[in-house]
Amino acid sequence: MSRKTSRGNRWGLALVGLALVVLGGLALARGLGAWGSAGTPIVDGGVRGFFTRNSPAIWWLVALVSVALALLALRWLFVQGRSEISHGAVRLERSPTGITEVSAPGMAHAVAADVESSPIVLRADADLVGSPSRPEVRLRVIADESAPIGELSRHLSTVALPHMRDALDRDHVPAVARVSLEPSPAPHRVVR
């Protein structure tokens, strides 16, 4: 999930929470007798009269607000499911003679293979995310828990990430690595 999506989620949840707190406070105040006695119905003759006088227009307005809320909810749902993973190509150069592009999945596979070249890495997976003009790398690394983590950090910063920056012909490519530690598998012994 991108930062923009996360920020939108926080704002949306804050506004919905604020609306629910205000409505809950109003209902509690009404129940405690702030506007009339607690036994009188909320929908009295005045409210029913308003809906009767404005019958066709008010229901169209209710339907319009409902459709708008449904569309906002669908948009939110689609944004949550949107994948950041780039499946296309990353454009490296455009010149009068042609365009140089690199396959995003191929680049991600090469980065993962470069990370796995370290003896302390058990498995690695990578994805290229972002736009073709501003790619970012997301790494998932499973390393041997008995190996020093500094060795993995050194391998990433001196081998894998510089190779990726060179391949993408960029001075700076943001990268996030999620490292999990697991025991190394027991060596297989063959008895003859």
Distance CA 145, CA 47 (A): 68
Band of the pLDDT at 66, cuts 50, 70, 90?
very high
For the chain, the average pLDDT equals 81
* pLDDT given for residue 21 in this prediction: 96
Band of the pLDDT at 74, cuts 50, 70, 90?
confident
Which is higher by pLDDT, 116 or 96?
Answer: 116
Burial of 118 (0-12, 13-18, 19+ CB in 10 A): buried
Query: What pTM, to 2 d.p., does this model score?
Result: 0.52
Tens digits of residue pLDDT in 99-123: 777 777 888 888 889 888 888 889 9
Tens digits of residue pLDDT in 132-177: 677 788 889 998 888 888 888 888 888 888 888 887 777 888 888 8
Which is higher by pLDDT, 175 or 184?
Answer: 175
Q: Strands 89-95, 98-103: parallel, antiparallel or unpaired by DSSP?
A: antiparallel
Structure tokens at 62: 């209710």
DSSP codes of every residue in 99-136? EEEEEHHHHHHHHHHHHHTSTTEEEEEEEEEEETTEEE
Task: Return all residues near 132 (Cβ < 8 A) that are at least 6 apart.
Answer: 86, 88, 89, 90, 91, 104
